[in-house]
């Protein structure tokens, strides 16, 4: 039941069908169910269904009741309307109580902090706000709305599934507001060297250009704040024939930012299905790595250079048109260099979300 912190709403404890009033009138008139059915010109079975609340009183039946037992058709239609409305309210109350349980798993505090939903401690208001945010009639429908594409990440840590769904929904809402051209996979693939070159620039330079280039290819690029226990780095979402590429800046490491971008980029280029795709932390993707550093160039560096030498990492990266942290990040990912080395080569991004 709704507790004292929630809005007080009167909910009847039971829905009484109009049949109860019909039975009282039958008793008053001294007739049985079979006789009344004959007088109403309906079958005894149909009358039984009306009395038990399994069949509604129609306008035609209300007029017959008016003529046979009174008092008016309006009276019977009002009884039927109140009965159906009470049933609907009781059903809604059950759904609301279920939503209150689901609410416990939704990171409402963090969502309100980011301005996704209105801040309130009232649980009933939180349920309503979450329904509006997710665009569902009840919160139990959220997973069904994303069921075709949603998958749970195999994560040792406890993952917040509703946090993931909230993040995806926000990415969806932001992406739908971005104007883009028709999706062009070939054009997007041709821009890979250009995107790779953007790694040499600062966020305030590369991000506006990056977003515009994506829009020209039919991709809405958006940044969505990271929600705790989701472990999301990025995602690709299709809505209204529009590709939405969302990034979370999880960890804010520059190499992870670019790896995630190319990870989602490779998904758009190499998969024909228009399904949601999520990038979680620590996921490997050889294709995304190759987009950032072609495999032959990476192997050449490993074989011909002292790959642990800082200056050689810097020089080789710049010669091939990528930021040194990209090569460093791959070397660290492959355990060729420890993560504690060369922190000065690894920037951390701060990019404005709006």
Could you give the C-alpha distances from 224 to 22, 119, 173, in angstroms and in order? 60, 19, 10
- Cα 205–207–211 angle (5° rounding)? 130
Determine the pLDDT at residue 12: 65
Q: Does pLDDT of 131 surpass 50?
A: yes
Question: What residues are paired with 278 via a beta bridge?
Answer: 235
Structure tokens that stand for 308 in this block: 């642990």
Name the band, by pLDDT with cuts 50, 70 and 90, for residue 119.
very high
- DSSP conformation letters of 210-230: HHHHHHHTTEEEEE-PPPTT-
Residue spans of the domains in the chain: they are 19-103, 161-288, 291-345
Q: Does pLDDT of 274 surpass 80?
A: no
Whole-angstrom Cα distance, residue 135 to residue 129?
A: 10
Determine the pLDDT at residue 63: 95
Structure tokens that stand for 126 in this block: 């939180």
Determine the pLDDT at residue 291: 87
Lowest mean pLDDT among 59-63, 87-91, 276-280, 319-323: 276-280
Strands 242-247 and 219-223: parallel
**Beta strands in the chain, from DSSP E residues, in sequence order:** 219-223, 232-239, 242-247, 277-280
Task: Confirm if 22 and 65 have CB atoms less than 8 A apart.
Answer: yes
Q: Does pLDDT of 148 surpass 50?
A: no
What sign does the dihedral 296-302-305-310 (CA atoms) show? positive
Mean pLDDT of the chain: 87
pLDDT in tens, 193-249: 999 999 999 999 999 999 999 999 999 999 999 998 888 888 898 888 889 999 987
Fold that domain 19-103 belongs to in CATH? 434 Repressor (Amino-terminal Domain) (1.10.260)
Q: How deeply is 270 buried, as exposed, middle or buried, from its count of CB atoms within 10 A (0-12, 13-18, 19+)?
A: exposed
Whole-angstrom Cα distance, residue 51 to residue 69?
A: 14
Tell me the average pLDDT across 114-139. Answer: 94
User: What pTM did the predictor assign?
Assistant: 0.76
φ, ψ for residue 223 (rounded to 5)?
-110, 130
């Amino acid at each position: 039941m709704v507790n004292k912190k929630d809005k007080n709403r009167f909910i009847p404890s039971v829905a009484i069908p109009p049949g109860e009033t019909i039975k009282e009138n039958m008793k008053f008139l001294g007739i049985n169910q079979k006789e009344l059915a004959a007088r109403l010109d309906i079958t005894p079975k149909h009358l039984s269904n009306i009395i038990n609340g399994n069949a509604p009183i129609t306008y035609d039946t209300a007029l017959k009741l008016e003529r046979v037992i009174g008092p008016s058709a309006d009276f019977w239609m009002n009884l039927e309307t109140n009965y159906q409305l009470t049933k609907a309210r009781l059903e809604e109350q059950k759904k609301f109580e279920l939503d209150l349980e689901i609410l416990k798993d939704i990171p409402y505090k963090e969502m309100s902090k980011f301005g996704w939903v209105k801040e309130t401690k009232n649980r009933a208001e939180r349920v309503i706000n979450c329904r509006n945010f997710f665009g569902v009639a009840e919160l139990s429908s959220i997973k069904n709305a994303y069921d075709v594409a949603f998958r749970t990440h195999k994560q040792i840590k406890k993952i917040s599934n509703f946090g993931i769904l909230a993040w995806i929904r926000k990415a969806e809402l932001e992406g739908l507001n971005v104007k883009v051209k028709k999706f062009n996979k070939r054009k997007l693939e041709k821009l890979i060297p250009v995107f790779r070159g953007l790694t040499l620039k600062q966020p305030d330079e590369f991000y506006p250009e990056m977003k515009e280039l994506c829009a020209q290819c039919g991709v809405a690029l958006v940044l969505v704040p990271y929600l705790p226990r989701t472990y999301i780095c990025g995602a690709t979402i299709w809505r209204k024939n529009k590709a939405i590429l969302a990034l979370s800046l999880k960890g804010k490491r520059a190499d992870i930012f670019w790896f995630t971008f190319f990870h989602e980029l490779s998904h758009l280029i190499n998969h024909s299905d228009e399904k949601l795709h999520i990038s979680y932390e620590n996921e490997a993707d050889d294709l995304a790595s190759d987009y950032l550093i072609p495999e032959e160039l990476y192997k050449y560096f490993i074989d011909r250079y002292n790959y642990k030498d800082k200056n050689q990492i810097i020089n080789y990266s710049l010669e091939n048109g990528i930021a040194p942290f990209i090569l460093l990040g791959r070397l660290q990912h492959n355990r060729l260099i420890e993560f504690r080395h060369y922190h000065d080569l690894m920037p951390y991004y701060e990019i404005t979300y709006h």
